[in-house]
Chains A and B, each alone.
Chain A
């Protein structure tokens, strides 16, 4: 198991984003124990994702256990629907050593299902939503969905 290390900078980030250390540890433990995670060997970086309660948590951490970032989103993965194998990322799916590529996944939030792009591969049950998508695009989309649902 990896010993999670949270620097003061990351601790502030977690606080800003309402993520607890327990969320981080649970997510990392899940990634490590199942290998349902992505890795970036050149940078000795890992990316674990876990649904905990009403949110999905994503943690990126070094092999040493030092967390580099963490973010969360409320939309839940419903199904991976399409694979765009030409648009590749350097991230590798740890369980099968496959290079990941862009996928399209159905995401559900407050009963609404919409599609969005993420990283993944055919062997992975997990959609790896990038940080910019999670903290900007998806966050605003969630807010708009809440507003529109109440319109």
Chain B
């Protein structure tokens, strides 16, 4: 069958893909193959280096997913593709998203929660309502396309983002943070609403595709903004409810916990998260420094596949030599982690990262991450 115009790129090299698939499976099946895998969490960077814009990446899911496939072959990364953005599932709760030229989609305009009384008026969309909404439609447009034209790359992903950050967006971050102290019941109401909505999104995706990997962030629930007890109360406790309910609805089994930002005071509490046999634990920073691979291995190495965190500022502003040196150190520390290791960035690689810096991560994996 000839590819339609929206496939955008030439066919992916099947030999390369087969090799990458075997390497990708390694950390999860305890049979390391070739070398440490590299996942810089490529999103709009893939569109930009192929001549498209950041805004196009987010507004055209098919293009976004195809460009990640092509870029993964280009850099010798993962055999799976992905497309997602922060602030998902919020349009279903009355927020407006603005797709910007140089930033991921942001919540804009009046927030649905202006005062504490509004929290009771929010309607949680059920699965059938979610299926008619803009977030689900965007994912389906992209995943149906991948399933048809890149079937070997297909892994449907439910992107939870950060439940705490999403609840905060319903009213504004400053107000929400104040309410965690002054009006905690209202914050819990908002958390519950966001959690149930996102869970229904996961169930809807699992219903359509048979399963749905869950990517769950701890972005606002971090040590810069909340005490560890509050990180648990307004972060992890909702993750647990979310994962259990979503799993009951057929989502999973893959879980990727992406703890963005500084988790220096709270990284131990996430041990109590809900785990599936395919869990990845990824912690961004310890203070201002990349989270030490040795500590991730010590605390989480027996529970999950761990992922390293090259500082995203270094990816954007550093030299390839600096990225290579940091990568070498992380790979040497992490490559023998008991349940597998993936070399990554602390968060999504900045869209305008010089390609040479991503190559530096891969080169370090080839030279120091051999199995």
Contacts and interface: CB of A to CB of B under 8 A. Distances in A.
B57 interface: no
Contacts of B240: 87
A140 B28 contact: no
A82 B252 contact: no
Interface in A107-148: 107, 109, 111-117, 132-133, 136-138, 140-141, 144-145, 148
B270 to A, nearest CB: 11
A137 B210 CA distance: 11
Contacts of A52: none
A115 B303 contact: yes
Contacts of A113: 30, 339
Interface residues of A, number: 30
A145 B278 CA distance: 9
B271 A82 contact: yes
Nearest to A75: B277
Contact of A81 (B25, B247, B252, B302): B302
Contacts of B210: 140
B303 A136 contact: no
Given A84-B272, A115-B339, A107 B277 contact: yes
B29 interface: yes
A86 B247 CA distance: 21
B304 interface: yes
B204 to A, nearest CB: 15
B294 interface: no
Interface string B212-243: 00000000000000000000000000001000
B321 interface: no
A115 B275 contact: yes
Contact of B247 (A75, A107, A132): A132
A133 B247 contact: yes
A6 B277 CA distance: 32
B252 A137 contact: yes
Interface string A69-86: 000000100000110101
B271 A112 contact: no
Nearest to A148: B25
B339 A114 contact: yes
A148 B302 contact: no
A137 B253 contact: yes
Contact of B303 (A104, A112, A141, A145): A104
B274 interface: yes
A82 B248 contact: no
A44 interface: no
Interface in B267-298: 271-272, 274-279
Which of A82, A137, A141, A144 has the most CB atoms of chain B within a 10 A radius of its CB? A137
A110 to B, nearest CB: 8
A86 B253 contact: no
A141 B274 contact: no
B59 interface: no
B250 interface: yes
A151 interface: yes
A149 interface: yes
B259 to A, nearest CB: 18
B106 interface: no
Contacts of A133: 247, 276
Contacts of B302: 81, 106, 115
Interface in A5-42: none
Which of B30, B250, B339 has the most CB atoms of chain A within a 10 A radius of its CB? B30
A151 B31 CA distance: 11
A141 B278 contact: yes
A83 B36 CA distance: 31
A79 to B, nearest CB: 10
Closest 4 CB pairs of A and B: A148-B25, A114-B277, A141-B253, A132-B248
Given A109-B277, A114-B279, A140-B253, 4 more contacts: A115-B302, A117-B276, A138-B277, A141-B253
23 contacts: A81-B302, A86-B272, A102-B274, A107-B277, A113-B30, A113-B339, A114-B277, A115-B275, A115-B279, A115-B302, A115-B339, A117-B274, A132-B244, A132-B248, A133-B247, A136-B253, A137-B247, A137-B276, A138-B277, A141-B277, A144-B278, A145-B29, A149-B31
